Amino acid sequence: MAVYTEVTDEDLDAFVADYDLGSVLSCKGIAEGVENSNFLLVTERGPHILTLYEKRTKREDLPFFLGLLEHLSTRGIACPLPVAARDGVALRELCGRPAVIVTFLSGQWPRRAQPVHCAEVGAALARVHLAAADFTLTRPNALGLAGWRELYAKCRHRADEVRPGLSAELGAELEHLGPRWPADLPAGVIHADLFPDNVFFRGEELTGLIDFYFACNDALAYDLAIGLNAWCFEADGAFNATKARAMLTGYRKVRPLSAREVAALPLLCRGSAIRFLLTRLYDWLNHPEGAFVRPKDPLEYRRKLRFHQGVRGPGDYGLDMEG
Ligand SMILES: Nc1ncnc2c1ncn2[C@@H]1O[C@H](COP(=O)(O)OP(=O)(O)OP(=O)(O)O)[C@@H](O)[C@H]1O
Ligand SMILES: N[C@@H](CCO)C(=O)O
């Protein structure tokens, strides 16, 4: 249950009184999500999402995240739009936390993603990349190569508690990626966490993208590598090339990939796999006793990493080398 901070009725009423939203009709904690406290807030003006930012979302990054949502919304991307209070300010404070009210998006995230969903996600990702091209704020990717090395240093002595040999495997992979990591691919703002639970659909129609709190500047094709890992493996660990082809085709219809981006995909997928393997491993090893949020399985991403280590080239993702 991702509600870390409880909000009293009095605090909430005083907070909402600063907006043109009428009075509060109900406010319920939302169980999904792990990073921040989220509430479904219903006022006389309808449903909204109230988010209180917890410790991992840094206060200094919020202008980038909120500015990006505004920028993308005005360019037709279906994402939450921060709502300003009567003084024109959207980023506020509630119960000692930075807090924001954003618009509510309808739809459900797909519990069983099909190739048609993957195609829509690919296209949406490309639209985000194009729409963000003239966004002026920047945020370096804190979870790039240097960030992975930091996480590894924090976890290496205990990684084998999760699976014997894991520490050496991670060390070897970082040594492999370090000198090969592509530095000069087309770059821009990426979502960096576009997992199924961050994409809403109504049937086959994509209705919204949420959770831009890892968004940053990095290689655009790296976002696709994150998407391939998150959407194109089955529960039994098998890679689904049909879904991958659908996602890549959907993307390329909106933003063509260069031959260099295509050639880099296997490496980018390895990088994306170790990124989620390491953050999950860190959370697994540092999970407070009795915490109500269950950490995600790091070993799922070890299986994905091993798959990518075995690919012979972009053809294994259903791609040819043409742009
Ligand atoms: N704008 C929105 N419209 C509708 N529902 C939303 C919206 N934003 C969040 N939600 C709901 O809240 C849940 C948690 O949101 P979110 O994924 O942003 O949480 P988080 O803890 O910040 O993220 P995560 O743990 O996924 O990194 C979502 O699964 C969704 O059900
Ligand atoms: N999407 C991340 C967690 C939230 O950022 C994961 O599955 O590890």
CATH number at residue 22: 3.30.200.20
The response to whether residue 211 sits with its C-beta less than 6 Å from ligand 2 reads no
3-state secondary structure of 103: strand
Nearest protein Cα to ligand 1, atom 28: 32
Q: Are residues 227 and 126 in the same domain?
A: yes
The response to whether residue 3 sits with its C-beta less than 6 Å from ligand 1 reads no
How many A from CA of 297 to the centre of ligand 2?
Answer: 10
Residue 120 lies in a domain: yes
- Report the alpha-carbon distance of residue 16 to residue 101 in Å, rounded: 9
Q: Tokens in use for 320?
A: 């040819």
Q: Are residues 130 and 250 in the same domain?
A: yes
Q: Ligand 1: which of 5, 32, 69 to mutate, most ligand atoms within 8 Å of CB?
A: 32
Helices 145-155, 166-180: crossing angle, 10 deg rounding: 160
Q: What's the pLDDT score for residue 312?
A: 87
Q: Are residues 268 and 132 in the same domain?
A: yes
pLDDT tops 60 at residue 99: yes
Exposed/middle/buried for 312, CB within 10 Å: 0-12, 13-18, 19+? exposed
Q: How confident is the model at residue 319 (pLDDT cuts 50, 70, 90)?
A: confident
Under a CB-based contact definition with an 8 Å cutoff, are residues 222 and 257 in contact?
no
Of 75, 103, 131, which marks where a domain is finished?
A: 103
Q: How confident is the model at residue 321 (pLDDT cuts 50, 70, 90)?
A: low
The response to whether residue 196 sits with its C-beta less than 6 Å from ligand 1 reads no
Q: Are residues 222 and 168 in the same domain?
A: yes
Q: Are residues 48 and 82 in the same domain?
A: yes
How many domains in the chain?
Answer: 2
Strand partners, 219: 187
ipTM: 0.91
Q: How confident is the model at residue 1 (pLDDT cuts 50, 70, 90)?
A: very low
Q: Are residues 148 and 259 in the same domain?
A: yes
pTM as predicted: 0.95
Q: Average pLDDT of 242-264?
A: 96
Of 103, 128, 152, which marks where a domain is finished?
A: 103
Q: Are residues 33 and 129 in the same domain?
A: no
Q: What's the pLDDT score for residue 323?
A: 45
Ligand in nearest proximity to the CA of 36: 1
Domain of 20, in residue numbers: 9-103
Question: Could you tell me the CA-to-CA distances from 279 to 41, 139, 251, 292, 308 in Å, in that order?
Answer: 30, 19, 27, 18, 18
